[in-house]
Chains A and B, each alone.
Chain A
Amino acid sequence: MSTVPESCDVVVIGGGPAGSLAATYLTGKGYSVALFEKEKHPRYQVGESLLPDVWKYCDAAGVSDAIAGEGFLRKAGGSVDWNGEMRRLSFGDFGYTRPALHVERDRFDHILLERARASGAWVGEEIAVLGADLSRAEDDESEVSVSYRPVGESSASRIRCRYVVDASGQNGVIGRQLGLRVFDEGFRFMSVWGYFDDSKYLAADGLIYPARSVRQVPPTTYVSALPQGDGWAWLWHIMLRETTSIGLVVPIAWAQESKGSAEPWEAWFLRQCQAIPLLQRLLVDATFCKGSVRLVRNYSYKSKRVAGPGFFLLGDAAGFVDPIFSVGVVFAMYSAYAAAHTIDRCLSQRARRDHHRSIFSSQIQSRLELSRSLALPYYQERDAGHAQARQAMAFSSMQAQALMYAASKLTDRSGNFDAMADNPEAHRAATERIRSLDIPLK
């Protein structure tokens, strides 16, 4: 690895999809970028289900051929078992011509990071960013100083830049430093997940296929409510090329009540999986990957501000909601695009940088609010949130709107969305495209 530069236009914290794409877009606009990633790619990451919308961001980054060439599994749609209501939808029915994907995130994220490097960004792996000095960000010099420390070294160093982009995911380096993160107190959730080999799966035709068919017959992402979960605890089943990702998202209180005090999380996880009849059918010949169970607490948050003098927050560093509708990576990429555009505007029209930042903040917060309305129960700022969500919805394509409306109808948890979703055409398109799923649960 070459020496860390002393200065650059933009420092990007984090080499996930948000950081790598932001770096690629910014170098494309002629800016010098240094990206710091605390791990060494390829590295493990959960969140394997991607919507077809990712392609337009990959196109803009010039990385679509590399993604397509990797041969990730195509995802045909979704299958949902919500308290006995079994329904399915297929992306093809919504007019999407490019596939959704089930990706191994270590591989997917690595391809994006290599794209950033090839685009001319300086990429440093195994370097942790400790924080940023933003006190002179609005001076004439507009100078930000970011401190970092290579893994295994004891002393920190500094790099000067004009903007710092926080794409550090749940770590939220800058958001945490500035105290911007706000957790949803009424929505204290956690996620526990693991991997199984040789699981069967549901395809878009509503039939069950063995794991060996997965390259010939594209899988759906299968989602199920958990019994006794009151509609808030749910499970994902995502086929990958060599294994299957299965995870639970549950209220922390519910998990604590249902878990024996001496029971390990792995045993609790397997017990929950066994309580779902359809999942049991899929797992009949499957092997659990021992030691694969992981968990995350404090699951849902947003940020008081997503941009300020000298900084921008992207992707999970800006906000995170329950991943039931697979919007995380798309949001990461969207915010990367928005940040690169806005930084370019700020640097070319410095007198108007407050204004440019305000457009970024408004668009990002609206988009987050739309995701929150789909996935969260009642939340306090309901009315203000609805106005923002409606604003983001307005500029989504009819395809994307119909898909959101359909997603909202597959579970009984989208009350906030229903309260602001008033497009009759999208309602009709969504209703027409939802099909029943007839699987005998014996």
Chain B
Amino acid sequence: MNYTDEQIFNTLESFFVQDGTGREGAVAPDTDIVGEGLVDSLGIFKLIAFVEDAFAVTIEPDEVLLENFQTPRALRNLIVKKLDSDGARHIAL
């Protein structure tokens, strides 16, 4: 499956809207989702599950780090790395 950056960011934003922690349009690629409290120690479980299911990737325990989850862009980079290593191709726009 191929994804554009826009698709990835929209998908991630939809998580926060569905979850009730973020309003539509409130989560930009560089929003500090941890610092702003959109993800905390509970939300991280839901976010991991969401990303794994939405993009069919597996996030390893040692990848659950601030550097991979602090912003949608950091998460996008992790997802792209996963997709590439899984043999899928990501289209950068």
Q: Which residues of A contact B (CB under 8 A)?
A: 56, 60, 334, 337-338, 341-342, 345, 352, 355, 358-359, 361-363, 367, 391-392, 394-398
Contact = CB atoms under 8 A, between A and B. Distances in A.
Contacts of B49: 341, 345
Contacts of B69: 395
A337 B42 contact: yes
Most A CB contacts (10 A, CB to CB) among B34, B41, B60 go to: B41
B40 A363 contact: no
Interface residue range, chain B:
20 to 34
8 contacts: A334-B42, A352-B58, A361-B61, A362-B61, A363-B44, A395-B39, A395-B41, A395-B69
A334 B61 contact: no
B35 interface: yes
B86 to A, nearest CB: 14
Interface of B: 34-35, 37, 39-42, 44-46, 48-49, 58-62, 64-66, 69
B40 A396 contact: yes
Contact of B45 (A56, A352, A358, A359): A359
Contact of B66 (A355, A359, A394): A394
A395 B35 contact: no
B65 to A, nearest CB: 6
Nearest to B66: A394
A345 B47 CA distance: 13
Contact of B41 (A60, A361, A367): A367
A339 to B, nearest CB: 10
A398 B61 CA distance: 23
Most A CB contacts (10 A, CB to CB) among B59, B66, B69 go to: B66
> Sorted from nearest, which 5 A-B pairs have the closest CB atoms?
A362-B61, A394-B66, A341-B45, A395-B41, A358-B61
Contact of A355 (B42, B58, B64): B58
Contacts of A355: 58
A358 B60 CA distance: 8
A363 B64 contact: yes
A397 B46 CA distance: 16
Given A359-B61, A361-B61, A392 B41 contact: yes
B44 to A, nearest CB: 5
B62 A363 contact: no
A1 B60 CA distance: 44
Contact of A396 (B41, B58, B59, B60): B41
